[in-house]
Amino acid sequence: MGGRVDGKVALVTGAARGQGRADAVRLAGEGADVVVVDVCGPLPGVDYAAATPQDLDDTVAAVAATGRRAVAAQVDIRDLDALRSAVDDAVGTLGRLDVVVANAGICIPRAWHRVTPEIFRDTIDVNVTGTWNTVMVGAPHLVAAGGGSVIIISSAAGMKVQPFMVPYTASKWAVRGMAKAFAAELAQHSVRVNSVHPTGVATGMGGEAMQAALGEAMAENPRPGAMFTNMLPVGVTQPADIADTVLFLASDESRWVTAHELAPDAGVTEF
């Protein structure tokens, strides 16, 4: 089945690579034009390399290869005014907005006693305030369009305890609640809001640097490490797996689904 979001326009943050790129390309492949946003520069406190402007250009090229349009903006989601200006300009170019995918986020694993005030602050600023900013600049366009879908990317860490990630876990529970709160108020405008809760995904965020940081924490306290085990026999999922869930929530197939958590998590939240 093709064209599941034919004629729609979607905003995807953190779209230069990894999960955000997969979401943008999957939506484009099913008929959507996309607004792709990424900071494309240093991220506060993280152990992994940041995306680059070339990464964002590559996302635009991948979207173009599907035959759809992409409007790109290099902007920090922590900057509400800059984000609003970029999104408003892109909507002016593409004509409307129907879907918001609040995907951008950071993760800085540390044992609890090694979390600094800066790590906690930066994680909340990006993952919570940045997500709020994304919804605040995108939702008015969905209201103007007569309805739409907001998809907030949380994590398995937003549904269960995950060790060595106190700031990240706090942020992902926060955006899970944020999704439900927005859903309650935006329902009158036929805007649906849901959260997505993946297990580990094979992206730059979850690469060698993060695994090394987790390994260091587990060396001090091995027992909680078992909490990362998936129920299904897979160690890590692929961005395309999560993009399938995003596509479902963006499409009219989920037109009566709101204020829910969808968890393509290989069973980790139940294990």
Calpha distance 256→261 (Å, rounded): 14
Tally helices (H) and strands (E) across the chain.
8, 7
Which of 240, 241, 244, 220 shows the shortest CA–CA distance to 230? 241
Handedness of CA 230, 245, 50, 168 (dihedral sign): negative
Q: Is 48 a catalytic residue?
A: no
Calpha distance 127→172 (Å, rounded): 7
**Alpha-helix runs per DSSP H in the chain:** 18-29, 53-64, 80-94, 117-124, 130-145, 166-186, 208-220, 239-250
Mention every residue, 6+ apart, whose C-beta is less than 8 A from residue 138: 11, 87, 97, 100, 102, 150
- Output the CA angle 180-183-186, nearest 5 degrees: 155
The single residue listed with the structure tokens 């964002």 is 56
Catalytic residue among 48, 120, 164, 168: 168
Active site members:
168
